[in-house]
Structure formats: structure tokens, C-alpha cells
Amino acid sequence: MEVALNSSVLDRVVLAVEQTTYTGDDGITSATRLADDLKLGRFGLVKLALSLEEVFGIELPDEALKQFSTIANIVRYLKRHYRHEVEFSWCAAATSTVPRCSPRSLDLR
């Protein structure tokens, strides 16, 4: 389940990045660096934060942006600070294949 949750969060972060910036032909991985690889400055990070808020249905504090240097940083932050929302949204998407899915039924340790 942890791998599926990581993949789901990563996929949604990639979607948010693709909506806000040109990603080039290399694609986006968890190791993609926001400043060096995607050339995101302060304004680009703010646009990315707004896109993440929309994709995940959350509100990111300004301090969170300072922690984001790679895609992996964003995934870790979202899992750590918004675990319930991320679990629930992943679970809701999985209900078509997992009939009795709830945040409590997921073992995400």
C-alpha cells in the first residue's frame, strides 16, 4: 500500500508541475530539481504551490515552499503534513478496485 500511495502522490505532484511549467523532454522524476532542472524561481514556486493546492485540495503555508528543492521533497512534505487528506484522496480513487477502502483500513506505516 505504501508504494501505491507514494506513486499516487508522485503522479499528482507531477501533474501539478506539468500544469505550471515546461518540463522538457526528459520528464519528471522524484529526483527532478525545481530550480536547476525546471528553472523555477520564486514566482514559479508560487505558481506550483497554487497548482498543488488545487490538485490536492489543501492549503500550503508559505514556509513549505522553502523546503521544496526536489519533487521528492514535495512528496515527502505532502505525506507528512497532509497524510489524512492524501490517504483519503488516494483511497477514494481506489474504491473502484478496493470495495472497503477507508483511511483507517490502510496500513501506511
By 3-state DSSP, what share of the chain in percent is helix, strand and coil, each rounded to 5?
Answer: 60, 0, 40
pTM here is 0.70
Amino acid at 24: G
Query: In this structure, what DSSP letter does residue 1 have?
Result: -
At 36 the pLDDT is 94
Domain region containing 10: 2-105
The CATH number of the domain where 77 resides is what?
1.10.1200.10
At 83 the pLDDT is 66
State how many domains the chain has. Answer: 1
Which parts of the chain register pLDDT below 70?
1-6, 83-109
CA angle 47, 52, 57 (to 5 degrees): 130
